[in-house]
Amino acid sequence: MPSRNSSHQNQSRSMFRLSPTNILFVFTLSLLAISLLYFSSSTTLNVTSITLKPETSFVTSLERFLTLRSKRVGSTLNDDTVRYTEKNQETHDVKRLDELVFSRETDDLYGGGRGDNYYPIRVYVYDMPSKFTYDLLWLFRDTYRNTHNLTSNGSPVHRLIEQHSIDYWLWADLIAPQSERLLKTVTRVQRQEEADLFYIPFFTTISFFLLETQKCKALYREVLKWVTDQPAWKRSGGRDHILPVHHPWSFKSVRKDMKKAIWLLPDMDSTGHWYKPGQVFLEKDLILPYVANVDLCDAKCLSESQSKRNTLLFFRGRLKRNAGGKIRAQLTSELTGAEGVVIEEGTAGDGGKAAAQNGMRRSLFCLNPAGDTPSSARLFDAIVSGCIPVIISDELELPFEGILDYRKIALFFSSSDAVQPGWLLAHLKGISRNQIREMQKNLEQYSRHFLYSHPAQPLGPEDLVWRMMAGKLVNIKLHTRRSQRVVKESRSLCTCECRRSNSTSTTLFP
């Protein structure tokens, strides 16, 4: 007689015995589960790749940025930006911040902190009122489609803002969620004592061009007071603060009160017309490239356009300019009508963009003379078009020149040589095909350094900004500490105002 245990075991075996129908059913369910898991994973990967695809159009990127970011403003930030400062608290706040910075720097030096490694650079981004940031971006976004305003020299206002939109590209990267960022050279910190540098997210170009003059000046004064009330500004005198002033007309009325900050500039000049003596110099400030007005000619485009580059020298732009730009009229007189040369009058509007892009992609060399300022966006249009820049600007300063060697992608001539009858064209015609091909190859490699995008790309202009900034950090600390300990009027402080102006020379040594 079977025992109770053996009976129970038989029942258990029968319960777990699967018929062929049940086996097929289980197998089908398993396949379905695996398929759903794979589909879910693939969808996630596709979404991620779409999110991380770099966008180089300012208008498109801004539209996406405002949709995604402005909803979050003020909701997730946990920083210590001072929004209202009482007089009796100012000294206490500055002293407390100084003690905290000393503690952090001591740890970096002795306690196994960062030591001599300045990467990533730690940047504190001020959480400024919306009227200084988002409101101005919305103003551009809401008006650019229906506005056809021109500047006094005929340039479309909104196109000009795009060319100087470096403030947007840097800010958009700095405040993006860490999961969306690709740069390893910079990180955002939430406490002022943790920062190497402080970023001021104010849009000087948009406010200058889109606000009525008096309203713009009033906003400038508000920004000045807001920033200079911050303990970090008071501690360093602004020496470790980054201020985008990329259009030379912008922020003029209050520049003198913020001249110790690090200015992000398109160029410099020694005439005193755009910048007062002592306001800008290479040791303190940083030159950033304009945003290109034309589309990138990628590897496929460069290959297809190679056989079509039948024009020797191309220029399209305003032919009459002021200051150093008077060279344009002289060059026009010398070059117009010459074989293989195309000289066109034009602006940066939509039609002008297409004409410039087509002309550059059909040319070996692109003429880049000085304009109202030593530089222009045309240089960077030429670079991303694969057209070798011919630079005739005696006071030009170039972006990231501590990293990039422009001699490998461009030709430099002094104004005095370039206007000599027949001299420039004879020189260009004498350049060998091998040298031209080598420079074109270098242009293809260098173009990535001048393409702003979101997310910002490694070795893109945003990345090179922080690589250049790393070289300034020790000097910033030197002048900050020196200013804190030198007794006032005991001796003059070095302001670095006496600087030899840059000049282009055909000689190797002065």
Which DSSP string corresponds to 178-238?
GGG---SSEEEESSGGG-SEEE----HHHHHHHS-HHHHHHHHHHHHHHHHTSHHHHHHTT
Q: Quick one: which of 376, 322, 366, 356 has its CA closest to 160?
A: 376
Q: How far apart are CA 228 and CA 257, in angstroms?
A: 9
**In the prediction, which pLDDT does 15 show?**
42
Order of strands across the sheet with 311-317?
A: 341-345, 311-317, 363-369, 388-392, 411-412
**In the prediction, which pLDDT does 151 show?**
65
**In the prediction, which pLDDT does 19 show?**
58
- DSSP state string for 89-153: HHHHHHHHHHHHHHHHHHHHHHSSSSTT---SEEEEEP---GGGTHHHHHHHHHHTTT---B-TT
Question: Collapsing DSSP states into helix, strand and coil, what is residue 363?
Answer: strand
Instruction: Tell me which amino acid residue 16 is.
Output: F
Specify the DSSP class assigned to residue 454. Answer: B
Q: How far apart are CA 124 and CA 316, in angstroms?
A: 41
Question: Collapsing DSSP states into helix, strand and coil, what is residue 391?
Answer: strand
Q: Which residues contact 34 (CB under 8 A, 6 or more apart)?
A: none
**In the prediction, which pLDDT does 30 show?**
59
Omega of the bond prior to 399 within 30 degrees of 0, cis? Answer: no
Question: Collapsing DSSP states into helix, strand and coil, what is residue 368?
Answer: strand
Instruction: Tell me which amino acid residue 180 is.
Output: E
pLDDT tens over the chain, length 510 residues: 444 444 444 444 444 454 555 555 555 555 555 555 544 444 433 333 345 689 999 999 999 999 987 554 444 455 667 655 555 566 778 989 999 998 988 888 887 766 667 789 999 999 999 999 999 999 999 998 876 666 655 668 888 999 999 999 999 999 999 999 999 999 999 999 999 999 999 999 999 999 999 999 999 999 999 999 999 999 999 999 999 999 998 999 999 999 999 999 999 876 677 888 888 999 999 999 999 999 999 999 999 999 999 999 999 988 876 655 578 888 988 999 999 999 998 876 667 889 999 999 999 999 999 877 888 899 999 999 999 999 998 889 999 999 999 999 999 999 999 999 999 999 999 999 999 999 999 999 999 999 999 999 999 999 999 999 999 999 999 999 999 887 666 555 555 544 545 544 443 333
**In the prediction, which pLDDT does 167 show?**
98
**In the prediction, which pLDDT does 507 show?**
39
**In the prediction, which pLDDT does 127 show?**
96
Q: Quick one: which of 327, 291, 50, 1 has its CA closest to 158?
A: 291
Structure token digits, residue 463 = 């990345």
How far CA 333 is from CA of 104, 368, 376, in Å, comes to 61, 16, 21
Q: Which residues contact 341 (CB under 8 A, 6 or more apart)?
A: 311, 312, 313, 314, 335, 425
Whether the model pTM is above 0.85 = no
